[in-house]
Structure 1
Amino acid sequence: MSAKDIIKKSVLEGFSMEMSVYHIIFILLVTVVLSMYIFYIYRLNSHSSFYSRDFNKTLAIMPVLTAAIVLALQSSIVISLGMVGALSIVRFRNAIKSPMDLLFLFWSISTGIICGAGLYVLAIVTCLIVTILSFLLDFIKMPQAPLLLVVNSSDKEIEKKFLPVLNSFAKGYKIRSRNITSAGIDYVIELRTKNEMGLMEACSKLEGLDSISLLTHDGDIRY
């Protein structure tokens, strides 16, 4: 027997795994249990304004389908090659609303792959670790996100008036934008303060100030 025949035989034997019906059912049952666990954790972890029940149902069903695909790939090299070719032409175009949704989507797919490979303990431990981290990180206090102060004034010299006010109420500030028009000047200022109402009231008393807005955002903080 030549080396080519030996390699061919070893490859074919490696993909000719025969699994009993009970083994397949057991794998799918474990996958279903973990899928329902992910379904429940996503509902607890998601904010109500971003929660989508359809997306959550997708997370619960996807591990079962993924596990079934992995089981099929282990049965035959012909099926595995055909499955790879079929899945390579699939394109998913759905906007992810939150980075946490991307995490749960990857978690769901990973659970199906791990269960399909028969590594049940690894799948369970992974689910527990991801759950602990997802809830634990919510309790870690992060620095306060900066505020955005939007100033609109018909007085182009207003900057000399409100900068002393910012020095009194803000821990630190940075002018992000100056927009000068024929009607006046607009500012966008990034700052941090604990006395938001005091800052707004002090700025509103300035002469020549048309409007002022204080916005909060969850952008990245750069030092």
Structure 2
Amino acid sequence: MLDLLAVQSSTTNATIITLIYTLTLAFILSSMIGWTYEKTFLGLSYSRNFVQGIVLSSVAAAMIMQAIGDNVGRGLGMMGALSVVRFRTSFKDPRDIMFIFASLGAGIGCGVYAWGAAAGGTVAFCCVAFLLSRTGLGTKHFFDGMLRFALPNEGPVREQVEHIMKTSLKTFILITMREVDGGSRLDVAYQVRLRATKPAAEILNELSKLEGISDVQFMMQDATTEM
């Protein structure tokens, strides 16, 4: 059995055993980061390729650091070679960038034989990511979603709609109203907060039963925020 303590800690003339340890650990740590990203993802545009990119970036970073070693000339040459490459991938979510940085950090740590720092940092990063996803830190919205529908521009129908919303919703506020069909109908949108005992499906069903109500839609706040 190979003894980890026997593995050299210098970046000069890396052995095959050291290279195997380095790349294997980089793969394991980046896989943990990718798995954490998958389990804590809350957006709408999930990408399997991005998760695989997290893993591959760490292995590539470890490989580059192994190739450079302690040689300053190699480092300058690597900088010149990488400057030719143009990375045009854009990240809409800052959280995605942090996962890429974490994966690169783990790969670089493994490449310079700072295995303890790489492993400890990866575990800490994954724990914090899970903690933030469970606590909902940063969430700031008073309403649960947006309710939108069209109704006849008539007093009785509007009174019926208002009655349903007052009895079924905890609170609501009108955000848009526009006339359609030459002013005979109104297209309205409300920010609403649901009651714990009244799911959105029941409210949609009650509104749909009213004569003249059409295009009833409800969009959750999380969905509208991520988009």
Could you state the TM-score of these two structures normalised by the residue count of structure 1? 0.71
| Structure 1 residue 79, shift from structure 2 partner | 2.1
| Structure 1 residue 125, shift from structure 2 partner | 0.9
| Structure 1 residue 44, shift from structure 2 partner | 4.7
Distance 1:199 1:85 in 2: 62
* Residue number in structure 2 paired with 1:186: 187
Aligned CA RMSD, in angstroms, stands at 3.3
Give 1 or 2 for the bigger CA radius of gyration. Answer: 1
1:148 aligns with one of 143, 146, 149? 146
- Map of 1:68-217 to 2, 5 A cutoff? 68-94=63-89, 101-140=96-135, 146-155=144-153, 157=155, 159=158, 161-181=160-180, 182=182, 184-194=185-195, 195=198, 196-217=200-221
Which one-letter code corresponds to 2:165 in the other structure?
A: L
Distance 2:21 2:82 in 1: 25
Which one-letter code corresponds to 1:186 in the other structure?
A: D
Deviations 1:74-132 (A, max 9, x none): 43222222222222332233465866544432221111122223221111111111222
Label 1:104 to 1:214 Cα distance change in 2 as closer, same or farther (>3 A): same
Which one-letter code corresponds to 1:18 in the other structure?
A: T
Label 1:74 to 1:185 Cα distance change in 2 as closer, same or farther (>3 A): same
Label 1:78 to 1:188 Cα distance change in 2 as closer, same or farther (>3 A): same
Distance 1:119 1:212 in 2: 58
| Structure 1 residue 179, shift from structure 2 partner | 2.0
| Structure 1 residue 161, shift from structure 2 partner | 4.7
Identity of aligned residues (%): 24
Alignment: residue pair count: 203
Which one-letter code corresponds to 1:59 in the other structure?
A: I
Q: After the TM superposition, which of the residue ranges 172-181 and 36-45 deviates more from structure 2?
A: 36-45
* Residue number in structure 1 paired with 2:4: none
Q: Is the 8 A contact 2:143 2:192 kept in 1?
A: no
Distance 2:149 2:34 in 1: 45
Which one-letter code corresponds to 2:135 in the other structure?
A: I
